[in-house]
Amino acid sequence: MRIGIIAPAGSPLAKRLQEKLILLTGSAADLFDADLPEGTRVSLGEGGASWDGISLDGFDGLFIHGFRYEDPVLPVADPAADWSLWQAGHVRQQQRYSLFYSLLARLEAGHQRLYNGPSVHLEGFSRLHQLERLGLTGARVAAAIVTNDPAEAERFCSAHTAAGAPVVWRTATGRCAWQIFRDRQRRHLIAADKPPVMLAPVVPGLLRRAFVIDGQVVLTVQWAAPSLESLERFEQFHVVEAARDGNGIEGRSLSALGIRWGSALYVAGPEGPVIYDVDVDPLIADLPAPLRDHLASCLAAGLAGGQPPAYEGPAVIERDSLFLRRMLRIQFEMEQTKLAEPAA
């Protein structure tokens, strides 16, 4: 079995995955730099696809990390670029990205297993569209809208606030955290001359993230419930035991969208799990070591065509952080005063 890894040079995930594949299969995967540095030789045509003289058509599985869908016409934001002058570098970047996308699309149309192909990134570019597609599979998803219409945003917030559900917001594309949406945010973010944002009502319950490989949930972590106790402690991750979890998501919902590797952010609500976001290229380098090592082992097993191992690490794991509980509470109180509505 031949396995390849397409990822930026120096990627911690690619390095860890390579180590796991060597332990599992006894051989190293072929590494390809997704940044396509100067001197990279890539060919695509009737004879197949090749990278630096290596045919990609003979690989059984390819792990793709660091790729994202983008509009190749619009330049990536760069504060150092003077767009009053012709930027030849942008043209080269357009050409490089176009070739890279075409290469991955060609491989996706073949027999290889891609984790994940470009169509998955394209379908997930609009986060609302992704949630709508998930809903069609039978999964419960957040009742979200995307809008830059002040009247529609006010109506949406008023309806859910009256029902006792706060509203949260995030950008309509990209990787982003959900944040509380108050009148001050609405007045600042919502306008016809501003990009639409995504709004959703809060479902009561604990926040979880499930990691899915080939339709199987291999790890679910739950953030510790908020507490006002004065005891200082680091951020905690609680591993949810699958056998005892009656409020988890079905991994096949992601598999139905062609997502071989991804994570789902959801709330374990009173009527079942409600999905708020899906990441098709999860970042796991910042997770505590037992969690990221387990996920790397599961990815290696999936790429090699095997079954992912069961999690055998600690049930509660702390992540070292400079922001301790008391410091965070002070920061939140400061933010709350800034966002407080002025007295009439």
What pLDDT score was predicted for residue 31? Answer: 94
pLDDT at 323 over 60: no
Which residue in this structure is represented by tokens 């040079």?
9
**In Å, how far are 81, 82, 139 from 86, measured between CA atoms?**
10, 8, 48
pLDDT for 17:
94
Quick one: how many helices (H) and strands (E) in the chain? 9, 17
Q: Would you say residue 223 has pLDDT above 90?
A: no
- Model confidence at 130: pLDDT above 70: yes
Q: Identify the weakest region by mean pLDDT among 77-86, 129-138, 162-171, 305-314.
A: 77-86
What type of residue sits at position 65?
Answer: H
Instruction: Look at residue 339 and tell me whether its pLDDT is greater than 60.
Output: no
Question: Could you tell me the pLDDT band of residue 30, with boundaries at 50, 70 and 90?
Answer: very high
Q: What is the model's pLDDT at position 20?
A: 94
Contact 311, 219 (CB under 8 A): yes
Model confidence over 273-314: pLDDT tens digits? Answer: 999 999 999 989 889 999 999 999 999 999 999 999 999 999
Distances (CA, A) of 31 to 2, 19, 112, 295, 319: 12, 12, 16, 19, 30
According to DSSP, the β-strands at 42-45 and 48-51 are antiparallel
The answer to whether the CB of 52 falls within 8 A of the CB of 331 is no
Whether the pLDDT of residue 234 is over 60: the answer is: yes
Ramachandran class of 164: left when φ > 0, alpha when ψ lies in -120 to 50, beta otherwise = left
Mark out the alpha helices in 171-307 (DSSP H runs): 183-189, 251-255, 289-303
Q: Please provide the average confidence, as pLDDT, over all residues in the chain.
A: 86
- Reply yes or no on whether the pLDDT at 33 is more than 90: yes
Instruction: Answer yes or no: are the C-beta atoms of 287 and 239 closer than 8 Å.
Output: no
Spell out a b/e string for 133-147, using b for 16 or more CB atoms within 10 Å of the CB, else e: bbeeeebbbbebbbb
Alpha helices (H) along the chain: 12-25, 88-108, 118-123, 127-136, 150-162, 183-189, 251-255, 289-303, 325-339
Q: Does residue 247 have a cis bond before it (omega within 30 degrees)?
A: no
Q: Give me the pLDDT at residue 211, please.
A: 96
Q: Specify the pLDDT at position 177.
A: 87
Strand, coil or helix: 18 = helix
Residue 190 has pLDDT above 80, yes or no: yes
Q: Which residue has the higher pLDDT, 148 or 174?
A: 148
Q: What is the per-residue pLDDT for 324?
A: 56
Residue 295 · residue 206 · CB < 8 Å: no
Q: How confident is the model at residue 93 (pLDDT cuts 50, 70, 90)?
A: confident
Among 44-53, 102-111, 229-238, the least confident range = 229-238
pLDDT band at residue 235 under the 50/70/90 scheme? confident
